[in-house]
Amino acid sequence: MRRPPSRKRSPVYLITLNQAYNETAHHGCDNLIGGSVIMVNYREILRLQSLGYSQRQIASSVRSSRDTVSQVCRLATIHGLEWPLPDEMTNHVIQETFFPAQLDCNSRRIPDYAKMHKELAKPGVTLTLLWAEYCETCYAENATPYQYTQFCDNYRKWARVTKATMRIKRKPGDTFEVDWAGNTMPIYDRVTGEQYDAYIFVGVLPCSGYAYVEAFPSMVTENWITAHVNAYNYFGGVTRIVIPDNLKTGVIKNSRYDTVLNRSYSEMAAHYDTAIVPARVNHPQDKPNVEGTVNHTATWICAALRNEKFFSLQELNEAIFTKLEELNSKPFQKRRGSRLSAFLEEEKSFLKPLPASPYELAVWSTATVRSDYLITDGKNKYSVPFDLIGEEVHIRLTSRTIEAFFNGSRVASYPRETVQKRDPIVKVEHMPDMRWGCGRFFGLDYAARPRLRRYSIGLIASKDILIRSSLYQRRKPSSSYMNSSRETPSQDLV
């Protein structure tokens, strides 16, 4: 019996996707996920460049190719753009500056992967060398080559080779690996005896192994960021890179082509002049030191305190800090010294200094502006410009202020009220003109009286007196204005 032909997947779709990916790189976009193009974060690239990071580190942080980072840095020098940039210089404006006209994209030439595989077996031959030769051939034939990242990706998919690992020597003061421990610790209510779980934050400096551990009531964003701030204060300095896991409180999305950080987390990193480079999904070997410290924490802290009862988070953290000092001072088994001595002698001097001003925790959220053009902080309501009705705005909450942003620009800012008020807090410039006249907006009854009197300008003296008397006799100017409107013909208005 004749065997039916095998159904092999055509590589046309893969090639088309790769071509689309590379085409977007020429127009200021570096990623293509699900058919949507993600704009390059030009501002973050220029910020990290001003801090002295290498192009490889910048590319890893913003999840763009090194060619894209190199191109952005080169164009920034040509156009005279330097960090800090004004707020109005958004990524979209920078893209228009760098790429005023779209480039014509030719079809990419597919490399000869079989020949590449043979060439790589020769001494001294690397993918970088093969890519350089491939680009020269493409330019000689007036064809557009793949960028380096896509070139290597396509080869690895074809070759299906096993990736080799390499031992990495950790640099002092370079990285800070963080994660939540898998184990929790119980806290008991003094009255009812009910048990609550406390979640353990673990951070470690890979070079010295110096650790920081703290318990929190939950794993929300506020506690996650507070743990980082407390760890930096504990170390007395800041590392250049933070490597977290892909938890939702810190990293919204992380893939090869797109990394979206929690906005509060990103703001904290900007305050401390550090870069956040999340570990790859399902790649715990990207942060092996914190994974090992989690195991040490489970043994020398959690298990060591298993027979004690704690009735508050403060009591638990005091016990944890005591055990933490013992863990950091415990001698190494295979080398001289301890985590503490290694930190003091090898790593502390390489940490970046703490900022002059302490970090103020800010929580970001989004909201769609309703017809009353109000936003809320959970306790009070505040107005935004009325022409944003139906639009989505970003709300930034701190302990003292509430701010609203639309398309990267701040549209409203208020001192945050600590006491709940009955009426919303409204700015007159946020109101439409039609509501200025009738004074029907919440909380503006008495403030609207001088404006309502302006409607009497041009009227005869008797009607002016009638309106003025009606305004001050009635409790609500809105009703008095409507009543006066019925008594006064509209054609009498000037």
422 and 442 part of one domain: no
Q: Is residue 233 in some structural domain?
A: yes
Q: Is residue 133 in some structural domain?
A: yes
56 and 76 part of one domain: yes
440 and 419 part of one domain: no
Most confidently predicted of 4-18, 143-157, 273-287: 143-157
Span 303-310, average pLDDT: 88
Domain boundary among the residues 350, 382, 411 is at 350
Q: Is residue 168 in some structural domain?
A: no
- pLDDT tens digits for range 19-72: 333 434 444 454 433 333 456 888 888 888 888 889 888 888 888 888 888 888
Q: Is residue 455 in some structural domain?
A: yes
Span 287-314, average pLDDT: 85
56 and 150 part of one domain: yes
CATH of the domain at 191: 3.30.420.10
24 and 75 part of one domain: yes
Sequence-distant (≥ 6) Cβ neighbours of residue 361 within 8 angstroms: 222, 225, 226, 229, 264, 268, 398, 399
Mean pLDDT across the chain: 77
Least-confidence region, from 43-57, 329-343, 416-430, 469-483: 469-483
Q: Is residue 263 in some structural domain?
A: yes
Q: Is residue 445 in some structural domain?
A: yes
385 and 464 part of one domain: no
- pLDDT tens digits for range 120-148: 755 567 888 889 999 998 888 888 888 89
Q: How many domains does the chain have?
A: 4
Span 309-329, average pLDDT: 92
Span 99-114, average pLDDT: 66
28 and 105 part of one domain: yes
Q: Is residue 357 in some structural domain?
A: no
Angstrom distance (rounded) from CA 116 to CA 107:
21
438 and 335 part of one domain: no
* Residue 111 belongs to domain spanning: 12-159
Nearest to 28 by CA among 87, 98, 109: 98
